[in-house]
Structures are given as structure tokens and as C-alpha cells.
């Protein structure tokens, strides 16, 4: 019994020192947006270490003949020519018959080669798993093809594990806990104030502070570009989606009205608290199915020019930050100005992608907090509006291309929903139709 008391007597002052350090060195500067340079120093050391590790691995790999990955990380060279071109070529050596259009037994070669190519490497399935790194970054989770290289590297990895799990993890959990509790308390307090202008200003302040603390809780280093294009009130902010952390990243530099489903549990507490201080848009599960209702509510919010810009992720699901997939047209039918934002994470320091079929939210957050750091670039792009004669789908594609180009991401037309759902039959029917033209020539029924 006395042992326990003795332990506590020692432990308590340590805890107090720990907390004071935390508050003074990290929380307070974070809340007011100042930087003490601790993170910068940490990043510099980290960068140097990783460079050294890469150098070592490359030296060893030259001796062991392990492949050097090309910059694009691709496995095979895909043929970009069309169905028509390829089948024409296959038929080239066949004696020409009188009628245009023809079937030959060799036509099947086109489909079989394309099929095998897509089995070896396809554009879509790779987007739903974490990006492969060119060189190992000393985290076990990204250890794909890297074998034992040297003792020093392994020791370094071991040190890394200790640092990440025993020092950084508790620190980050504490910070996040403080950040979230402050969010709930702060917003509830602001919620009690009457609706003066001060309320809005205070609410923004509280939100900003809390998100900044949470960002520190992830050791996030964010570089914002083109801040003059930041989303304004009454607008819609649209961004590519990689993980739930995207919200923290964006909210660090501005206040947004969130859109989403009502959750239970901790998320629900946060949602209700945030709702008290400024209007967000939370939908019940049943309401989400009624597209008309959803659009109407969003439109009402946007038309009220005093309300904060809405934050929407039109992909609808998390993609692994190497590409941008189809933007659902719903957000582009609301009207109002679209403010596109491109977010690109640097995978060297920590993989931010949430593979929701593999990890639950909690294990994902733990993984985030035991990475080296989260480093990302955020580009604010000039506002865009729907043009004359352009429908919602075309507008969505235009915005998507802009974001893809800025972030250096691959622009894909495939639906992010393919993560879980099957592809639509209509795409196969398109292919069949194209091929039919090659078989019967141009005098087909339509």
C-alpha cells in the first residue's frame, strides 16, 4: 500500500511537469498559430535520417540486384490505342472481302491481351490500397519488398519504434484529447451566448484553436498555397478525399460548415457540440437517401451569404491520394461558387490514406499517431462556376481535372464507389456496341 502511495508521490510531479511542458511548448503556440520551431527541427532530423537510410538501402540493393522502381511505379506498358485501331491492325493481313466490317478469328486477340493487361495492372484497384513507396521509410507497415540490409539500419528502425510508440504516441494522444475536449467545452460555452456578431467570431476562434491543437496531435506540417483563393462565405469548398484527417487539415486555415451523417458515440457528441456554436449540416441516415431534400438544404445554406462555406468531398469515399476519381454531380447542382482545393500528402513521412475495409477508425487513428509525421500541401484554386451550356457532370469533370492537375494526381473517370460495388453493365455494353460496328460495318440498325 505504501509502495503505491510512494509511486504516486513520485509520479504526480512528473505528470505535472509533463503537462506544463505540453501546454507551454505545444498547446499555447498552436492555439495562437505561432511556431516555436520544435517541429521544424524534428522534421529536419527526420529528413536527414531517412535520406541516410535510403542511401544505405540503395547501396545494398545494387549489390543484391533488387529492382529499382521507375518513377511511375508501373509494372507494364499499357497500350493506349483504341478498339478500332487494334482490330484493324489484327485484320490487316486478311484478304479484303467486298463488304466493310468483318469478323475474323483473330479479333479475340485484342480482348484477351487487354484482359490480361488489366489482370497484371489496372488503374482502379490500386487506388484503394496504400501507395507503394519508392524507398523504405523505416516503418514496418510499408515494408513490402525490403529485406534485411544491415545492422545499423535495423537499429535505427528499432530506435524509431521506441520513439514513435513511447514518446510520440502518448504525446499525440494527450494533445488530441485536449483538443477535442476543448472543442466540446468551447463550442458549448459559445452556444450559450446570444446571437451577436461576437458569437460568430468567438465560434470561429474556438474551432480554429481546437483544430490547430488536433493538428499538432498528428504532427501535421501543412503548407498552404495561394491563400488569396481561400473559400468565402456562401460558397462550396470541394476537395479530393484521402482520409477523415482532410477535415482537420483544411479547418486549420479557415472555418467551414461541415456536411455529413449524424453519428452516435463520440462523433455524435462532437457534432452536437459544434452545432451549438455555428450552423453545420448534419443529416439523418434516412434523409441522405432523399437527394432532393439534401440538395435543398445545401442550397438554403449556400444562399444565406452570412453562413460559412460548405466543405464537401465529391468523391464520396477515401482514395489513396495518387489519383482523383469521379466527382458525384450532386454537389455541383446546388449552384453557388465552387472553390476547388487540392490536397496532396507526402507519403514518405506517414501514409494518410484510410483503407476503411481494412482498418477501423480507431486503428487508423493509432496508425496516424505512430507515423513519423503528416506532411501535406494544400492548394487553393481560383473559384469556378458552372458555365452556359455545361451540365453538372461536365462541370464536375472540369473541376476534377483542375484539382488533379494542381495536385499532380491521375485524373480518372472511374467511380470511387467501385471500392465496394460492382461496375455497371453499361460499360461492357458500350464495348460490345463498338465491337459490333467492326463486325457488321456501318449499316447496323442504329
Partner 1 sequence: MGSRASSLLREEDIEEIKKETGFSHSQITRLYSRFHSLDKGENGALSREDFQRIPELAINPLGDRIINAFFPEGEDQVNFRGFMRTLAHFRPVEDNEKNKDLTSGEPLNSRTNKLHFAFQLYDLDRDDKISRDELLQVLRMMVGVNISDEQLGSIADRTIQEADTNGDMCISFSEFTKVLEKVDVEQKMSIRFLH
Residues 244-273 that bind partner 1 (CB under 8 A): none
Nearest residue to 15 (alpha-carbon basis) of 183, 181, 212, 174: 174
Name the segment binding partner 1 (CB under 8 A); options: 29-37, 271-279, 311-319, 431-439: 431-439
204 binds partner 1 (CB under 8 A): no
Lay out the site mask for partner 1 across 317-356 (x = CB under 8 A, - = otherwise). ----------------------------------------
For the chain, what's the residue count? 446
Question: What is the distance between the alpha carbons of residues 51 and 43, in angstroms, rounded to a whole number?
Answer: 12
Count of chain residues binding partner 1 (CB under 8 A) = 63
CB atoms within 10 A of CB 299: 14
Beta carbon nearer to partner 1, 263 or 433: 433
Q: Looking at 139, 245, 294, 341, which residue binds partner 1 (CB under 8 A)?
A: 139
Distances (CA, A) of 1 to 7, 13, 15, 74, 277: 10, 19, 21, 63, 47
Angle at which helices 265-277 and 169-191 cross, to 10°: 40
117 binds partner 1 (CB under 8 A): yes
411 binds partner 1 (CB under 8 A): no
* Least separation in angstroms between CB 73 and partner 1: 9
Beta carbon nearer to partner 1, 140 or 306: 140
* Least separation in angstroms between CB 324 and partner 1: 16
* DSSP secondary structure letter of residue 342: E
- Locate 276 and state its grid cell: 451549438
* Least separation in angstroms between CB 110 and partner 1: 8
142 binds partner 1 (CB under 8 A): yes
CB atoms within 10 A of CB 234: 17
Question: What is the distance between the alpha carbons of residues 58 and 43, in angstroms, rounded to a whole number?
Answer: 22
Q: What angle do CA 422, 428, 434 make, to 5 degrees?
A: 160
SS3 286: helix
315 binds partner 1 (CB under 8 A): no
Question: What is the widest separation between alpha-carbon atoms in the chain?
Answer: 104
Beta carbon nearer to partner 1, 66 or 393: 66
360 binds partner 1 (CB under 8 A): no
145 binds partner 1 (CB under 8 A): yes
Beta carbon nearer to partner 1, 148 or 192: 148
108 binds partner 1 (CB under 8 A): yes
Beta carbon nearer to partner 1, 228 or 432: 432
Lay out the site mask for partner 1 across 364-403 (x = CB under 8 A, - = otherwise). ----------------------------------------
What sign has the CA pseudo-torsion 348, 163, 251, 331? positive
Lay out the site mask for partner 1 across 56-95 (x = CB under 8 A, - = otherwise). ---------xxx--x---xxxx-----------xx--xx-
* Least separation in angstroms between CB 163 and partner 1: 19
427 binds partner 1 (CB under 8 A): yes
Backbone angles phi, psi at 388, to 5 degrees: -60, 135
Name the segment binding partner 1 (CB under 8 A); options: 114-122, 169-177, 232-240, 264-272: 114-122
Helix (H) or strand (E) holding 296: helix 291-303
Beta carbon nearer to partner 1, 114 or 230: 114
Q: Looking at 195, 228, 306, 432, which residue binds partner 1 (CB under 8 A)?
A: 432
* Chain mean position to CA 293: 27
Q: Looking at 11, 32, 52, 103, which residue binds partner 1 (CB under 8 A)?
A: 103
Q: Looking at 51, 84, 88, 122, which residue binds partner 1 (CB under 8 A)?
A: 122
Determine contact, residues 52/150, Cβ cutoff 8 Å. no
* Least separation in angstroms between CB 392 and partner 1: 23
- Report the C-alpha dihedral over residues 200, 27, 157, 133, rounded to 10 degrees: 20
* DSSP secondary structure letter of residue 5: H
* DSSP secondary structure letter of residue 317: S
* Least separation in angstroms between CB 424 and partner 1: 8
Question: What is the distance between the alpha carbons of residues 95 and 89, in angstroms, rounded to a whole number?
Answer: 13
- Report the C-alpha dihedral over residues 102, 108, 110, 111, rounded to 10 degrees: 120
Q: How far apart are the first and last CA of the chain?
A: 90
SS3 222: strand
- What is the binding site for partner 1 (CB under 8 A)? 65-67, 70, 74-77, 89-90, 93-94, 103-126, 129-130, 139-145, 147, 414, 418, 422-423, 427-433, 435-436, 439-440, 444-445
Amino acid at each position: 500500500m505504501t509502495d503505491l502511495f510512494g509511486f504516486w508521490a513520485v509520479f504526480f510531479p512528473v505528470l505535472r511537469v509533463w503537462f506544463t511542458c505540453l501546454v507551454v511548448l505545444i498547446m499555447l503556440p498552436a492555439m495562437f498559430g505561432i511556431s516555436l520551431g520544435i517541429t521544424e527541427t524534428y522534421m529536419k532530423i527526420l529528413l536527414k535520417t531517412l535520406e541516410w537510410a535510403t542511401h544505405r538501402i540503395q547501396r545494398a540493393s545494387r549489390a543484391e540486384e533488387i529492382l529499382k522502381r521507375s518513377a511511375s511505379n508501373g509494372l507494364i506498358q499499357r497500350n493506349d490505342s483504341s478498339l478500332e485501331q487494334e482490330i484493324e491492325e489484327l485484320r490487316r493481313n486478311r484478304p479484303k472481302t467486298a463488304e466493310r466490317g468483318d469478323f475474323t478469328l483473330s479479333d479475340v486477340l485484342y480482348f484477351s491481351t487487354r484482359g490480361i493487361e488489366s489482370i497484371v495492372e489496372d488503374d482502379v484497384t490500386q487506388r484503394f490500397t496504400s501507395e507503394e513507396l519508392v524507398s523504405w521509410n523505416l516503418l514496418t507497415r510499408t515494408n513490402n519488398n525490403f529485406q534485411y540490409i544491415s545492422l545499423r539500419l535495423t537499429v535505427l528502425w528499432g530506435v524509431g519504434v521506441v520513439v514513435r510508440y513511447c514518446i510520440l504516441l502518448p504525446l499525440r494522444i494527450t494533445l488530441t484529447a485536449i483538443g477535442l475536449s476543448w472543442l466540446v467545452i468551447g463550442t458549448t460555452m459559445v452556444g450559450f451566448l446570444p446571437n451577436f456578431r461576437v458569437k460568430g467570431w468567438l465560434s470561429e476562434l474556438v474551432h480554429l484553436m481546437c483544430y490547430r491543437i488536433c493538428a499538432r496531435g498528428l504532427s501535421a506540417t501543412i503548407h498552404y498555397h495561394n491563400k488569396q483563393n481561400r473559400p468565402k462565405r456562401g460558397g462550396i469548398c470541394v476537395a479530393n478525399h484521402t482520409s477523415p484527417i482532410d477535415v482537420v487539415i483544411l479547418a486549420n486555415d479557415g472555418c467551414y460548415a461541415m456536411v455529413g451523417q449524424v453519428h452516435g458515440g463520440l462523433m455524435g457528441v462532437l457534432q452536437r457540440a459544434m452545432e451549438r456554436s455555428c450552423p453545420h449540416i448534419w443529416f439523418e441516415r434516412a434523409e441522405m437517401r432523399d437527394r432532393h431534400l439534401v440538395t435543398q438544404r445545401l442550397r438554403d445554406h449556400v444562399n444565406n451569404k452570412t453562413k460559412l462555406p460548405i466543405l464537401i468531398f465529391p468523391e464520396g469515399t477515401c482514395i489513396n491520394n495518387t489519383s482523383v476519381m469521379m466527382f458525384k454531380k450532386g454537389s455541383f447542382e446546388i449552384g453557388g461558387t465552387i472553390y476547388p482545393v487540392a490536397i496532396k500528402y507526402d507519403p514518405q513521412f506517414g501514409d494518410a490514406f484510410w483503407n476503411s475495409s481494412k482498418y477501423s477508425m480507431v486503428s487508423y487513428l493509432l496508425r496516424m499517431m505512430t507515423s513519423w509525421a503528416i506532411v501535406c500541401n494544400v492548394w487553393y484554386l481560383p473559384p469556378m462556376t458552372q458555365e452556359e451550356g455545361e451540365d453538372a457532370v461536365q462541370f464536375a469533370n472540369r473541376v476534377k481535372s483542375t484539382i488533379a492537375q494542381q495536385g499532380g494526381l491521375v485524373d480518372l473517370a472511374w467511380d470511387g464507389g467501385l471500392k465496394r460495388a460492382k461496375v455497371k453493365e453499361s460499360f461492357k455494353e458500350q464495348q460490345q456496341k463498338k465491337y459490333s460496328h467492326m463486325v457488321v460495318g456501318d449499316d447496323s440498325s442504329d
